[in-house]
Amino acid sequence: MTGPLDIGIEGIGVWSAQLPSWDAGRAILCGNVDNVAGAGTRPAPSLLAPTERRRAQEAVLIAIEVAQQACTMAARDPRELPNVFASAYGDLQINDYLCATLARDPKDMSPTKFHNSVHNAPAGYWSIATGCMASSTALSAGAATFGAGLLEAALLAHSESCPVLLAAYDIAAVGPLADIVPCRAAFAVALVLAPPSQRAMARLLLQCEHAAAELAPEADVLHASCRDNPAARSLPLLTCLARRTPGTQLLAAGPALNLRMEIMF
Amino acid sequence: MVAATSRIAAPRRTKLYWRIAFSCITRLLSRIPPLAITAFTATSAAGRGVDALALALAQRKSGLVENDFGPAPLACWIGQVPGLDDICLPAPLANWESRNNRLAWLGLNQDGFRARALAAIDRYGSARVALVLGTSTSSIGETERAYRELDADGHMNAFQRTNRAHQTHALGAFVQEALGINGPCVTIATACSSSAKVFASAERLLRSGLADAAIVGGVDSLCGSVLFGFNSLQLVSPQPCRPFDVERNGLSLGEAAGFALLESITVDKTASRLIGYGESADAHHMSAPHPQGLGAQRALQDALARAAITPADVDYINLHGTASRQNDEVEAALIARTFPATTLASSTKGWSGHTLGAAGIVEAVVALLAIERGLVPGTLNAQVLDPACGPQIKIDNQERNVRVALSNSFGFGGNNCCVAFAAADA
């Protein structure tokens, strides 16, 4: 890159069994408390009608929850934001259902489950829930999915000169998939990224580095259960944002590619 | 993107001269610098490599065959790539085993594409080449196989536990390892628009200076999930698909791999160019298009704006044209109300079937062949066009000097992408 990519963070959302929201989770990330109210419950994003909320698959629910948190904090209309949804494994529950059904009785497949199996299902439900017709992307980059998603969203914000929503999520592997997919607990994170302005609560200078480098240490709060969730790679950054401590971190964006992130307030 | 919203909403509120002025300004503001497409290839049921594809198009020879895929094949037609079962991945890549990656490997080795890609990696350095690939289901066919071969305790067998293919990024990671790329690498998975959107992501990477060249493409392969899944939605035709035909009754599924190499136009001034793209969402339904095609229209208008061209500049459009009742009706109406009668349009899914996440790249290659060889394919298998079709949509092939060509790709989740290409001197 010719110079670092200069990006503002306007909004943050987070959801895991330990971190039910950015507002509540910040105290944990700051190390002030061990647990907070609402922890361990299923998220209930108000964007979805109660029946949709009950029906929604976990991957869709947690992605929409964090996306809504981040847009609310940024005071941005979700309808206006191009969005990037990043997930390493997609909907592991539905993939387990599809593969088990095909092995048992292929003609028994549920049409709803099939169309919900696409990797961009959360992105699709987000656009339907918000009425957002802007560009919408769903991507995957294995263990480096959060870093690759951050790069994609930052480039979009930079090249289109507009705020962009990034949501990264993965859920726990179920059934035989658990033999090959290490993800053991759900984790979702969202950021509203935009060209730097007064609205930003923090600023990131992003640069690509190609030498193998040491990554940021895992945050204290990185519970063992979500260590292998690619979306939880965001925790060192989230911790820094919660504590408002400027610093530099490295984030994997590929097997031989790191993002050097200078975090400023 | 915010400007694009206003562009769509504006006509209701403003007078003509403001609309014209506004459209000129947004067109100039959103124009992207063109990129050279210095190599491209496609492998589908219509043939291995671009010469085989061009021949099949010219001879109107469909690649669709009666379905014999899997243990209990549905009564339908498929666009299967022959010989995939005989392909072996090179030994160092054996732990990426899947039909999808075998198809990726076969596709990489057509038209000398792998050599061209390796030469670019050598020239720019492996860290300065980006890889952006699209797929819908990636290697899920291999996961399906693993579920059929579970051990007595219901667990994956020893081979599948070491197989790394059971993830969406199996495609991007496999090709990255196969070519030795160290630049940005991502797998886009937005269903049937996936390998159209790769052009947009790659263009942003190159414009930002994060890479000097980008390899884009897409691979999707036949598997139980898509055959039985589309069947459960009652979208699969029992006959070979007939896009835009008044009696069309569903799609034929296919598989394909395609790749393209994007570089600065200073590298090759004679190469065809990527001149624009538009991306949008329908915000309507997971598996049905917006009834007025507003999402598709937005992607199309965005592509025209980025290319700084008008509908009259477009010589050929490769349509999404799946042969589903709804898609074709909505897309035909969009083309009829947007383009003059001089623009030619067709769906080539009668040749290849609907190759899902690979449709974007395969049909981009058809658009590039139209530009470079003057071969404008018609719509194979259509006999009587739906009354919704305007004069643009053609059944028969034509020979025409094509300077600007578009390719439409629309996917589940209401995900739309339109890509614009042009001849070097356009």
ipTM of the complex model = 0.96
The beta-carbon neighbor of A138 closest among B189, B200, B233 is B189
Distance between CA atoms of residues B156 and B377, nearest Å: 46
CA of A32, closest CA in chain B: separation in Å? 37
Rg (CA), chain A: 18
Distance CA B333, CA A37 (A): 53
Length of chain A as a residue count: 265
* DSSP code at position A169: E
- Ranges of residues in chain B with a pLDDT under 50 are 1-13
Taking Cα atoms as reference points, which of B354, B409, B383 lies closest to residue B64? Answer: B354
Site from B187, B292, B324, B418 to mutate, A interface, most A CB atoms within 10 angstroms: B187
Residue A4 has what pLDDT?
Answer: 92
pLDDT score at A190 = 98
* SS3 assignment, position B424: coil
Six-digit token pair at B354?
Answer: 């609907």
- Chain A segment 69-98 residues within 8 A of B by beta carbon are 79-82, 87-90, 95, 98
| Residues in A 182-221 with any Cβ partner in B closer than 8 A | 208, 210
Contacts of A110 in chain B (CB under 8 A): 232
pLDDT tens-digit map of A154-173: 999 999 999 999 999 999 99
CA pair distance B169, B185, nearest whole angstrom: 9
User: Which of B320, B389, B417, B418 is flagged as catalytic?
Assistant: B320
Selecting from B156, B201, B283 the residue whose C-beta is nearest the C-beta of A152 gives B201
Quick check: B413 and A118 in contact, CB under 8 A?
A: yes
For the packed helices B16-30 and B294-307, what is the interaxial angle rounded to 10 degrees? 70
Quick one: pLDDT at residue B30? 73
Residue in A with minimal Cα distance to B153: A176
pLDDT given for residue B11 in this prediction: 43
**pLDDT value at residue B71:** 86
B405, two tokens: 């060509």
pLDDT tens-digit profile of A87-127? 999 999 999 999 999 999 999 999 999 999 999 999 999 99
Output the 3-class SS for B332-381. Answer: HHHHHHHCCCCCEEECCHHHHCECHHHHHHHHHHHHHHHHHHCEECCCCC
Whether residue B277 contacts residue B113, with contact meaning beta carbons closer than 8 Å, is answered with no
B290 is catalytic: no
Read off the DSSP letter of residue B384. S
Chain A residues closer than 8 Å to B219 by CB: none
B residues 269-308 closer than 8 Å to A (CB): 279-287, 294-295, 298
Q: How much is the pLDDT for A32?
A: 85
Please report the pLDDT score of residue A226 as a whole number.
72
How many whole angstroms separate alpha carbon B50 and alpha carbon B373? Answer: 11
Q: Is B163 at the interface with chain A, CB within 8 A? A: yes
pLDDT interval class at A39 (50, 70, 90): confident
> Which pTM value belongs to this model?
0.95
Q: Mean of the pLDDT values across residues A138-149?
A: 97
Inter-chain CB pairs, A–B, below 8 Å = 237
Which residues 235-264 of chain A have a CB within 8 Å of chain B?
A: 253-257
Choose among B190, B188, B193, B186: nearest CA to B210. B186
pLDDT band at A222 (very low <50, low <70, confident <90, very high): low
Per the listing, tokens 């530009």 go with B371
Decide if pLDDT at A133 tops 70. yes
Task: Output the DSSP codes for B23-83.
Answer: HHHHHHHH----EEEEEEEEEETTEESHHHHHHHHHHT----EE---SSS--SSEEE--TT
User: Is A159 touching B (CB cutoff 8 A)?
Assistant: yes
Least confident stretch, A208-222, A240-254, B162-176, B268-282 = A208-222
Respond yes or no: is residue B284 known to be catalytic: no
| A87, A137, A145: residue with CB nearest B190 | A137
Residue A208 C-alpha, separation from nearest chain B C-alpha, in angstroms: 8
- State the pairing for strand pair B415-422/B404-411: antiparallel
Percent of chain A whose pLDDT exceeds 70:
94
Q: Which of B69, B207, B225 to mutate to test the interface with A (most CBs of A within 10 A)?
A: B225
Q: Which of A2, A97, A110, A135 to mutate to test the interface with B (most CBs of B within 10 A)?
A: A135
- For residue A26, the distance in angstroms to the closest alpha carbon of chain B comes to 30
Cβ within 8 Å, pair A140-B186? yes
Is-contact A65 A43, C-beta < 8 A?
A: yes
CB contact under 8 A, A110 and B232: yes
Q: In this structure, what token pair is assigned to residue B20?
A: 């014209």
- Cα pseudo-dihedral B189, B290, B224, B357, rounded to 10: -30
The CA-based angle A169-A175-A181, given to 5 degrees, is 45
pLDDT of residue A38: 75
Report which of B231, B222, B256 is spatially closest to residue B351, judged by C-alpha positions: B256
Q: Is B276 exposed, middle or buried (0-12, 13-18, 19+ CB in 10 A)?
A: buried
Residue A34: predicted pLDDT: 81
Mean residue pLDDT across chain A: 93
Residue B157: burial class (beta carbons within 10 Å; 0-12, 13-18, 19+): middle
Q: In degrees to the nearest 10, what's the CA dihedral of B173, B175, B180, B182?
A: -50
B354 has catalytic annotation: yes
Structure tokens at B182: 């160290």
Catalytic pick from B185, B192, B389, B417? B192
Residue A214 has pLDDT above 70, yes or no: no
Tokens 């562009």 identify what position? B7
